[in-house]
Amino acid sequence: MHFDQRTQAALRDVGLTTEELQAASEGVVERVAESAAALEEFFETNDVVYSDMDQAHSTAEFPEHTVEYCDLTTHAAEMRGWLRFSTWGVYVEDGRVLDDGTVELTLGPSVNDRVRFAPTRDAL
């Protein structure tokens, strides 16, 4: 089950049954997998993306990135993987598709920040 022991106990205290906890846990797993697939599709669809990332070697407000691939894996509520651009790559720890058509990822070492990506500069 996705929820740790304390969370399970708290959810039982408010009246959820074991079956309801299991259904909620399965729902979390499904949503994480759906999010990972949507994020991969975003980067597969867009050969070039723009970000709100601060880059030392760029003077652009929203730097341009040529996408090579995005490879994400999931395990329960965790999403991890690698986002590769033409000249560099970065570890991805989490992400989501936003209502405005942009995506937001938590990027790991070398960036260590939440970063939004969009198919156009205007979208940022």
Give me the average pLDDT of each 10-residue run along the chain (124 residues): 84 92 91 96 96 70 92 93 94 95 92 93 92
Are the CB atoms for 73 and 79 separated by under 8 Å? yes
pTM for the structure as a whole: 0.86
> Packing angle between helix 5-13 and helix 18-45, nearest 10 degrees?
120
In 3D, which of 86, 87, 83, 90 has the Cα closest to residue 42?
83
Map out the domains of the chain as residue ranges: 5-123
